[in-house]
Amino acid sequence: MRLVHFLRKHCELNKQSSQRLLASGRVRVDGNVVRDPGCRVTPYCTIALDDKALQTGTPCYLMLHKPAGVVSATQHPEHPTVLDLVPNEWHPGLHLAGRLDLNTTGLLLLTNDGLWSKQLSRPEHKVDKVYRVQTQHPIDSRYIKQFAEGIYFSFEGITTAPAELELISKHSARLTLREGRYHQVKRMFGFFDNPVVALHRERIGELTLDPSLAPGDYRSLSPAEIQCLVPTG
């Protein structure tokens, strides 16, 4: 349903008044101000006028084992998306809480709760993100020191936050980051001209990818899992 139609129905307004209400910036969908009358809403969206909830939606939180070759997006002209892995009835309002590159595998979160995903993605929200990395060339102890000190990313003009690297074998390691910059893991190994040949996210904060989930499978998060990622106090 279009948001303008939703407002007409719920607030008993005519078309012009509901358009004016939207233009005033008083309407929020999943925590974001929406002014576009064409915006589509579903029964899963949380819709508020000022501080008054017009629809609370049914919150949904999923963990998904992302396979390689699937895009972390809701639509893509070329590749299947993670939403193609979830049956249609789950779709309304579902969006990604974080992303992984096309060929990265592992833990990905989906939700229709815009506030929850927003909290998760805030830069101040520092949770560990743990990756298993396989590289083309051998990894050595220089990497441990360099990653702990940070690496300068000239494009953004920043130095990465201290990261922990645990060597597993000559060509594989476990890397713990507390931030999520564009292609961060690949760029960090790029500092040593060492291409990442496989990347898998094992854990976000206290939440570990459920080992019973095969690539492409997903399950709902338990209330404790939802709470452990974004504590409400």
Compute the least distance from the CB of residue 183 to ligand URA, in Å.
4
Q: Is 183 in the site for ligand URA (CB under 6 A)?
A: yes
Q: Is 71 in the site for ligand URA (CB under 6 A)?
A: no
Q: Contact with ligand URA (CB under 6 A): which of 84, 101, 164, 179? A: 101
Q: Contact with ligand URA (CB under 6 A): which of 82, 133, 199, 229? A: 199
Q: Specify the DSSP class assigned to residue 222.
A: P
Q: Is 186 in the site for ligand URA (CB under 6 A)?
A: yes
CB 60 within 8 A of CB 90: yes
- Which C-beta is closer to ligand URA: that of 10 or that of 183? 183
Alpha helices in the chain (DSSP H): 3-11, 15-23, 114-121, 141-149, 184-190, 223-229
Q: Is 105 in the site for ligand URA (CB under 6 A)?
A: no
Compute the least distance from the CB of residue 2 to ligand URA, in Å.
35
Q: Which one of the listed residues 36, 50, 51, 101 is annotated catalytic?
A: 101
Compute the least distance from the CB of residue 131 to ligand URA, in Å.
6
How many angstroms separate the CA atoms of 98 and 159, rounded? 21
What values do phi and psi take at 29, rounded to 5?
Answer: -120, 120
Per-residue DSSP letters for 67-94?
PTT-BSSS--SSS-BGGGGS-GGG-TT-
| Strand 105-111 with 95-97, pairing | antiparallel
Number of residues lying near ligand URA (CB under 6 A)? 8
How many angstroms separate the CA atoms of 175 and 127, rounded? 13
Which segment (22-30, 137-145, 178-186, 208-216) binds ligand URA by CB under 6 A?
Answer: 178-186
Residues 6+ apart with CB under 8 A from 16: none
128 is annotated as an active-site residue: no
Q: Is 100 in the site for ligand URA (CB under 6 A)?
A: yes
Q: Is 160 in the site for ligand URA (CB under 6 A)?
A: no
One-letter amino acid for residue 41 of the chain: V
By annotation, the residues acting in catalysis are: 101
Q: State the residues that interact with ligand URA by CB under 6 A.
A: 100-101, 104, 183-186, 199
